[in-house]
Amino acid sequence: MADKTVFILSEDPAIRNLLSELVVAAGLRAETLPSIEVWFETAAPKLPDCLVLDASVGDLVEPERLAEFTWACARIPILVLVHRGAVQTAVHALKHGAMDVLQKPLRVEILLERIKQAVEEEGDEGTVRWPGARQLRT
């Protein structure tokens, strides 16, 4: 699994660093991003094997911002982190194709299990499948 990359997108540097350390300790590569814009502004945004999106801080708290990830959800599994009780954000994330929504405070073992499941999922060429999501063609 060392060839699998997980992007961690959070506006909170402490969360980015902690999640990055956990992902690397689990034998995966991790890249951290401070905002959607940093990722989207690259000439050809590269797609990771999994994206962990912290929707509990900054601009990402707004459910409407999650709609910007619809194109990515069709290609890669996205795990969205929310604060307990953020029902609207959780529903919006799932509606736009997120693989799963995990509530903070996080149970590390569950997060790592979901990340590993996400990077191990394989489909036909151009197809991504994961539990809870419909089959999507790119």
Q: What angle (nearest 5°) sits at the alpha carbon of residue 3, between those of residues 118 and 39? A: 70
pTM of the model as a whole: 0.80
Q: What is the CATH number of the domain that holds 37?
A: 3.40.50.2300
pLDDT digits (tens, 9 = 90+) for 80-134: 999 888 888 888 888 888 899 999 998 999 999 999 999 987 543 444 444 444 4
pLDDT digits (tens, 9 = 90+) for 16-49: 999 999 999 999 999 999 987 787 776 566 788 9
Residue 103's beta-bridge partner residues?
82
Residue 138 burial (10 A CB sphere; 0-12, 13-18, 19+): exposed
Q: Which residues contact 6 (CB under 8 A, 6 or more apart)?
A: 23, 28, 29, 30, 31, 48, 49, 50, 51, 52, 115, 119
**Domains held by the chain: number:** 1
Range of the domain at 90: 5-137
